[in-house]
Structure 1
Amino acid sequence: MQTVIERYINREVLLNWIGVTGALLIILMSHRFARFLGQAASGDIPADAIWSLMGLSTVQYLVILVPIAFFLGVLLALGRLYKDSEMAAMMACGVGPLKLYRALAWIALPIMFLVAWLSLYGSPMASQAIHQVQQAAQAEARLGVFEPGAFRRLEGADGVFYAERREADLLRGVFIQAFDGDEEIVIRARRGRVETDAAGYRYLVLEEGYRYELQPGSRAMQRSRFERHGLQLPEAAEPGMSDRRDTRAVRELLASGTPEDMAEFHWRLAMPIGGLVLTILAVPLARISPRQGRYGRLFAGIIVYVLYSNLLATGQVWLEREQIPTWLGLWWVHALVLVAALLWLLRQNGGARRFLARPGEAAGT
């Protein structure tokens, strides 16, 4: 059962965590939204696929954002308590680091369990869904090249397409200019439509038009009239899903056992473990004097996180290159930061004996 002080500390941490998470998510998703808008403007994806991709991308970002946001939220919450001398009053009443950790555990453990699920299962499923949405979106975007009223580049060919207007599924006033080797081809048709045969191949079927074949630099030209003329449309290559480690399930990574797959597994596991380690580190890092601002340790916290994440990234590369054994994984990075946090905590509280036996006296350190 939570005490009044524990509920009070948790409320402060939660409010700061939600604020930091929201701010960071808005910044990152704004950049991602601009990227998707650019892809939609260039015709790579249709506009109605943007929101699906945004939602799935949010799941991926939360895996990284939640641990750092919770770390910063703890720093901000405890920093305010220290600045307003509330923490000094709590310590005088016997609230030491151990009770702080107990209070933080009520919210840190459920949040990191959520991060663990997102990292191990949710994010790979989101990555696979993003891949599938992008493939479907690109297939739909290939049909968007036939939207009337503008010159559009032909996918898979060196040329452009133009149609004057659309009537249902029928295009009116079709113009195509393309190159076949050194030969320039110009096609003008009264109408056209996209059709799919029984085998699933798509064709642009043109009716009542002319086809001109020209040689650049020469007056030679061949003109032919047609009543019906079909042009096969190129199909986009499907990238292999097995080549994307970020979409693989945990059981597939463990079954494979290759250095690259094991490095991916340890990286996913590092997100929730790192969040817990950062929570332990936040308690000694947040300690300030009342004369210092509540944001005094925020910059230091960001530096610590950057160093921690860079060590994890370096360890992942070493795992892929088999420079460290697989069983060691990234645990050495977590252990290094955890030992530094515990030593810092013991130093602030006068050693292990005083820290464990008389936590309330830590206020005088």
Structure 2
Amino acid sequence: MLFDSSLRKELSRSFGATLAIVLTTVLTMALIRTLGEAAGGNVAPQDVALMLGYATVGYLPTILSLSVFVAIVSTLTRMFRDSEMAIWFSSGVSLFRFLPPVLRMTAPVVLTIALLSLVIWPWSNRQINDLRDRHQQRSDLSRVAPGQFQTSADGRRIFFIDRNSPDALLSRNIFIVDRAPGRESITTAQSGRIDYSPQGVRYLVLQNGTRSDHTEATGAKSVAHFDEYRIKIGETTIAKLIDRSPKSTDTLDLLSGSEHRLDMEAEMSWRISLVLGSVNLALLGMALPAGNPRRNSSAALMLALLAFVVYLNLVNLLQAWTAAGRVSLIGGLIGLHGGSMLGIFALLWWRDRGVAAPSLWPHRTKAAS
């Protein structure tokens, strides 16, 4: 039918344009945040692109929901402003007649959101955690960069080198602070190199330097000069937790978990809410557009953005209440999303009756003088 095809085409075009704008904005913000983490030493600089990609995958369910919502609101607002809605209503088309084409356009997006939130979301979180763990597990020598103070993985040592040689195995002007309970030592050397023992253990060999030790209990200080000094630099390993965080746990594992954990139920509430919320927002987008052509066209869009923020905050509140044990998983989902759907259909019915039967809403007319 012409009505269905034309509406779906316009909704698809509006959805594509909105998605491009929102995705560009989110990518820019995520890039700034990832670069900040890389500058702070939490992420390896070479992993910035991967971190950005995994983070974007995590944001996609919310981005798609917002894009569909804004596309429906902007499309119907444009039809109200250009009096197209008045033509359809006068032809006997009710507001509920818009449901089938809107839902047909929304269905693939909702399925994509379900795939992203239930399957891809935990996978992307695991990849992000693995990148951060791998960066934290790197050796102390790999942390050192010329002209920068770097801290070892255990926090005991602080390294500084002035510059590297072309082969990157020899360094100049080395400074090391080694802290231990009750003592502190400061080592400086003119040069240093990396050496390997027959067993494959790595050593940092310092040449022509000075070592100063300070004992806090007695206050004793000692200074020693050396021609060569070897420091064992072992690979630092961080034991990984057997139980992953709820964000990194697969959905099937959350559903079939042997132990009852509120944080896992809260994570499950968040994932399901992303799917159900996208459906409710698509329905809400049909009820918010303005019906008066003289009304400011941006008012409906501003109201839609406010409604989206409120709904997203309610989802976060439901997750927090589930984690605190104040509501159950099923009861919270039914209460929030089921109640919202009933309210949206009531609003659609009220808008449909108000538009299709104007005689039920008499307007006050000014008496002729």
**Shorter chain as normaliser: what TM range?**
0.7 to 0.9
Q: Which of 317, 323, 336 is 1:333 aligned to?
A: 336
Identity %, equivalent residues: 19
Moved more, 275-284 or 136-145: 136-145
Deviation, structure 1 residue 157: 2.5
Structure 1 SS opposite 2:165: strand
Deviation, structure 1 residue 98: 2.9
Deviation, structure 1 residue 159: 2.9
Deviation, structure 1 residue 128: 0.6
8 Å CA contact 1:91–1:361 kept in 2: the answer is yes
**Aligned equivalent of 2:253:** 252
Deviation, structure 1 residue 54: 0.5
For 1:51 and 1:302, how far apart are their aligned partners in 2?
30
Moved more, 151-160 or 234-243: 234-243
Amino acid at match of 1:77: T
> Cα deviations across residues 226-245 of structure 1 (Å, max 9, x unaligned)?
54512335725345262411
Amino acid at match of 1:309: L
Distance verdict in 2 for CA 1:287–1:164, change over 3 Å: closer
Matches within 5 A, 1:65-214: 65-140=63-138, 143-148=141-146, 150-155=147-152, 156-180=155-179, 181-193=182-194, 203-214=202-213
Distance verdict in 2 for CA 1:13–1:362, change over 3 Å: farther
For 1:259 and 1:215, how far apart are their aligned partners in 2?
50
Amino acid at match of 2:93: V
Q: Which of 303, 309, 331 is 1:300 aligned to?
A: 303
For 1:142 and 1:77, how far apart are their aligned partners in 2?
57
Higher relative contact order (CA 8 A, sep 6+): 1
> Cα deviations across residues 60-106 of structure 1 (Å, max 9, x unaligned)?
01111211221111101110011011122222334322331111111
For 1:231 and 1:61, how far apart are their aligned partners in 2?
43
Distance verdict in 2 for CA 1:272–1:177, change over 3 Å: same
Amino acid at match of 2:58: Q
For 1:182 and 1:265, how far apart are their aligned partners in 2?
49
8 Å CA contact 1:205–1:230 kept in 2: the answer is yes
For 1:188 and 1:99, how far apart are their aligned partners in 2?
81
8 Å CA contact 2:262–2:324 kept in 1: the answer is yes
Q: Could you tell me which runs of 5 or more consecutive residues in structure 1 were left unpaired when the two chains were aligned.
A: 352-359
For 2:242 and 2:11, how far apart are their aligned partners in 1?
40
Q: Could you tell me which runs of 5 or more consecutive residues in structure 2 were left unpaired when the two chains were aligned.
A: 362-369
Structure 1 SS opposite 2:294: coil
Deviation, structure 1 residue 137: 3.4
8 Å CA contact 2:188–2:209 kept in 1: the answer is yes
**Aligned equivalent of 2:282:** 279
Pairs aligned (count): 352
Distance verdict in 2 for CA 1:196–1:267, change over 3 Å: farther
Distance verdict in 2 for CA 1:307–1:55, change over 3 Å: same
Moved more, 24-33 or 48-57: 24-33
Distance verdict in 2 for CA 1:290–1:215, change over 3 Å: same
Distance verdict in 2 for CA 1:62–1:362, change over 3 Å: farther
Distance verdict in 2 for CA 1:100–1:142, change over 3 Å: farther
What is the RMSD computed on CA atoms of the aligned residues?
Answer: 2.9
Give the TM-score normalised by structure 2.
0.85
8 Å CA contact 2:266–2:323 kept in 1: the answer is yes
8 Å CA contact 1:96–1:362 kept in 2: the answer is no
